[in-house]
Structure 1
Amino acid sequence: MATEDEARAAVARLSRELQDRRPHIERRIDYFKGREGRLRFASDEFRDYFKKRFEGFSDNWCMPVAQSPAERMNPLGIRLEAESRRADLDLQRVWLASDADRDASEAFQVFVVAARAFALVAPNPRDATTPRITFEHPAQAIVEYDPATRESRYGMTVWTDDKWDYATLYTRREVWKYQRQTGLDRDPARPDRPTPLSVDWVPREVQGETWPAPNPLGAVPLVELRNQSLLDDEPMSDIGGVMAMQDSINLVWAYLLNALDYASLPQRVVLKSDVPKVPILDETGNVVGSRPVELDELLRERIMFLPGKDATIGEWTAAQLDSYSRVIEQAVEHIAAQTRTPPHYLVAKLVNTSAESLTVAEAGLVSKTLERITYVNPALRQVYRLVALAQGDDAKARAAAAGEIMWRDVQYRSEAQRADALAKKKAIGYPLEYLLELDGVPPWDIPRILEMARRERTDPTMERIARDLSGSGAPGGR
């Protein structure tokens, strides 16, 4: 059990660590959304002149790179029994009742982009058999581990309103709730990055609850989904390397857009003539002098003056701009290779491509997605374990800790390819139930299909139709 001093110290420590993480998390998510990674400019003058003209433009490659593995991560349940290896339908009922199928999809996307996401399991006071599963944003949740055992020691969620910062600290035995006054302190050296004021956390008492409240699960209910790391505490984002490449691409785009505006049309040149001047008038309208036409005005009119006698007029033909586009295409190819994203996900140039060719092109993405599933599996096993603990079923909780998470096939196949593979496996003796699993049928739907198949075999009318379709006239013939 944690003492009050230990809990208060943990809240202060974890809130500071979470504050340090937030800039990195928010930056990655901004790149994914396209709010960062906009046009880059090589000089301040270039930026000042062209930024407003192309404001809002962003060639966003972070989104397809991050979406491609996340959209293939679709859990179907968990197998517990060592003998039957069937999915536990009650745990899956809880999963669906919590809308976790949708929320998990969003959490997997955040896990890929921000390198972390979190799941929280809580008892349901209205229905003890249906605990609640929610997924938390990595900017609002954190887990601290025991350095010796790597087990969760503390979990904390935070949120803010106009007046207060709130924190809920979870230990194995207690739930500590705190709050502090909301405020932002601006460092003069970094006015762009406000930090919370140094205000102590005070107990947050909820009517009808003791303080601290007991934790009925006997385990930290907050679970971290961590992306790939290098045996350290720094999981890596799938778009970590794409962000810099996206900045480079948008720099080239800035040059290209400028070239489209200034070099794609013929440019007029006036030779051997003085630069035109405009008169300067006094308050009464009398001419008191003259000044040359502003250079910016000449640029807008696409005119260049070269002073001298005997003026003549010439022009430059339109510039060739494909050198810029080739650089962008090369950079996009590098992104595809470095992130194992199929090229046709980034550049749509497929024409009459065979299914076999697509399978080969997506092999890297399939391997990458299976790798991400490997990182997510321990967290999902822990989520199902916590659900069983919330239901009061310790035996099921122990089984869930070593259960097998079931996933929909991450390899996209055409219906013809899949049907052909299943028919061949049926021919060599694979049972129907296993074939249904390979076909991606949800576990809760398999018993219904098996029962339909049983009724079909025992129905005389359906048996006669099956014989006729198989081409055999004898009862039971093949």
Structure 2
Amino acid sequence: MPVPAQEALRITRVLEQKLDERQKNIAVWDDYYGGKHNLGFASPRFKAAFGGLFGTFADNWCEVVCDAPAERLTPVGFRFGTGDDKEPAEADKDAQRIWQASSMDAWAKVAHTEAMVKSRAFVLVWVEDPDAEQSEPEITVEDATQCIVAYEPGSRRRRKAALKRWDGEDGFTYATLYLPDEIWKWRRFSLSSSLALPASLTAGWQPRGDAPNQQRIPNPLGRVSMVELRNRPRLVSDPTPEHKGVMPLQNAVNKLVADLMVAAEAGAFPARWGTGIDLPKDPITGQEIDDPELWRLAVNKMLRASNPAAKFGNFAAADLSNFVAGIELLTGHIAAMSRTPATYFMGKVQNIAADTMTAAETGLVAKCGDKTTFLGEDWEEVMRLAFLVKGDTKRGNNPLAETIWANVAYRSEAQLMDALAKKKTLGVPWRQLMEDAGYTPTQIDRMEVMLEQDSARAARALAFGVPEGDTTGDVPPADAAPVPEAA
């Protein structure tokens, strides 16, 4: 049902207000991921004395906490089930083509990282070229600072509306409102612009486009074409970024590292002392000459004293091990709270067995497995929308869609091959074994063709008696006429 312009404008303003409310938190989370930290636990005296030295310093572990799960979340394909157990669903080749055409094998990684950092990321599905005879879907990843999705009351899945707002380079701020049946385009004068525009353009949101049919576009999909990827979704509370719980610990680490550097500058080198030393006197005034150059030691200098009772020595250097122990304790807490393997926080990893490495990553693997469950639902909806763009309502409304993920667990090559060999003895089909081995559907299809070619080549070689291992000669086809023997 078409929405009146005033109602569309009201929805736009409501969504924009909610989007503005999120900006402060998103900015803080993004700063911590990027290493822009305030020295949170420093005293006023410390800040007054050393604040200028550590204004841009951060021993940034928030980036590690966010990147650790994001780097393991890799969608490699999609299936669309038929509901018939006798016909197992294979990886959909059309879905793979759409995915590759939009470069989503790369941008999906960006979407996951953005969701880990900002608690949300957004994916927009629309027509690549509206004027083309055959509609081709275009999938783009959108930023949480520019987009927001609203849901139907009482639902966490049915999208009611979505808004994307961004600043143009022409002095205007643009917005697009996505509704199930139509799309509204707006623009307004940007307050940061120096352009002098008529008052009619500075009064707020105005329809965008020169013609009426460019201001309101029908949405043939029948659904809001923007999908929200939520990190750590909750029932009532908002989703949270991956590093929110460790941000206070990050502040404590920064404080200890700053203290360590100050102590290293002031007391890490032993200071020397001397007693009973007679200072030289000025022959005219008789005053002692306290020349600092007399006490500057170097490899070509030595101290001497005429007083037999003079003594020399040096103070002990400051012990920095207490700071190191405190930093290691805090990074251990960060690893435990975020379920990030301790090996991610170590400078060197030596003599760690594969089984030990696997056990250390149990928490991260379990966490990534949970994320694939929720994110997989979102990517399936993205692919349904892509097929709706193409007019394929069968796959566009298929509730049995499934995202195929790369294995999130770390395994050595020997461990993986051993597991596959055991699965084969249980009767696991070859294609499933290849998926478990980490090959993408495209690679598996290619290997199947190569296996068929190898089988045909071996059959021809057997039929015509070509020596085993000789693949250099041409093997005649099976229906070729026999070659007469030489006289």
* Structure 1 residue 241: Cα displacement: 1.2
Query: Helix, strand or coil: the match of 2:162?
Result: strand
Query: Per-residue displacement from partner, 1:357-384 (whole Å, max 9, x unpaired)?
Result: 1100011100011111122112111101
Query: Helix, strand or coil: the match of 1:404?
Result: strand
Q: Is the 8 A contact 2:275 2:311 kept in 1?
A: yes
Which of 158-167 and 390-399 deviates more?
A: 158-167
Question: 1: distance between equivalents of 2:203 and 2:339?
Answer: 46
Question: 2: distance between equivalents of 1:231 and 1:26?
Answer: 24
Mapping 1:242-257, distance limit 5 Å: 242-257=246-261
Q: Is the 8 A contact 2:41 2:251 kept in 1?
A: no
Question: Out of 159, 172, 175, which is 2:166 matched to?
Answer: 159
Is 1:122 equivalent to 2:122 in the alignment?
no
Letter in 2 for 1:100: M
* Structure 1 residue 467: Cα displacement: 12
Q: Is the 8 A contact 1:37 1:243 kept in 2?
A: no
Change (3 A) 1:236 1:271: farther
Query: Helix, strand or coil: the match of 1:52?
Result: coil
**What does residue 384 of structure 1 align with?**
383
| TM-score, length of structure 1 as denominator length | 0.82
Q: Is the 8 A contact 1:78 1:88 kept in 2?
A: yes
Change (3 A) 1:142 1:131: same
* Structure 1 residue 45: Cα displacement: 2.6
**What does residue 26 of structure 2 align with?**
25
Letter in 1 for 2:257: W
Mapping 1:242-391, distance limit 5 Å: 242-267=246-271, 316-391=315-390
* Structure 1 residue 24: Cα displacement: 0.8
**What does residue 454 of structure 2 align with?**
456
**What does residue 71 of structure 1 align with?**
71
* Structure 1 residue 111: Cα displacement: 0.6
Change (3 A) 1:206 1:104: farther
Query: Per-residue displacement from partner, 1:158-207 (whole Å, max 9, x unpaired)?
Result: 1013521111001011110111111269xxxxxxxxxxxx9521111255
Change (3 A) 1:315 1:456: closer
Q: Is the 8 A contact 1:41 1:47 kept in 2?
A: no
* Number of matched pairs: 418
Question: Out of 390, 405, 419, which is 1:407 matched to?
Answer: 405
Query: Helix, strand or coil: the match of 1:53?
Result: coil
Question: 1: distance between equivalents of 2:143 and 2:385?
Answer: 19
Question: 2: distance between equivalents of 1:254 and 1:173?
Answer: 56
* Structure 1 residue 460: Cα displacement: 2.7
Change (3 A) 1:462 1:381: farther
**What does residue 275 of structure 1 align with?**
none
Q: Is the 8 A contact 2:186 2:215 kept in 1?
A: no
Query: Per-residue displacement from partner, 1:123-147 (whole Å, max 9, x unpaired)?
Result: 1224735310001000000001111
Query: Helix, strand or coil: the match of 2:228?
Result: strand
> Where does the alignment leave 5 or more consecutive residues of structure 1 unmatched?
186-197, 273-310, 470-478
Q: Is the 8 A contact 1:103 1:135 kept in 2?
A: yes
Is 1:445 equivalent to 2:446 in the alignment?
no
**What does residue 480 of structure 2 align with?**
none
* Higher CA-based Rg: 2
> Where does the alignment leave 5 or more consecutive residues of structure 2 unmatched?
194-201, 277-309, 470-487
**What does residue 303 of structure 1 align with?**
none
Q: Is the 8 A contact 1:175 1:214 kept in 2?
A: yes
Question: 2: distance between equivalents of 1:184 and 1:44?
Answer: 35
Query: Helix, strand or coil: the match of 1:440?
Result: coil
**What does residue 170 of structure 1 align with?**
178
Q: Is the 8 A contact 1:456 1:463 kept in 2?
A: no
Q: Is the 8 A contact 1:155 1:222 kept in 2?
A: yes
Query: Per-residue displacement from partner, 1:187-239 (whole Å, max 9, x unpaired)?
Result: xxxxxxxxxxx952111125584431111211100100011133114001110
Greater fraction strand: 1
Question: 2: distance between equivalents of 1:254 and 1:8?
Answer: 51
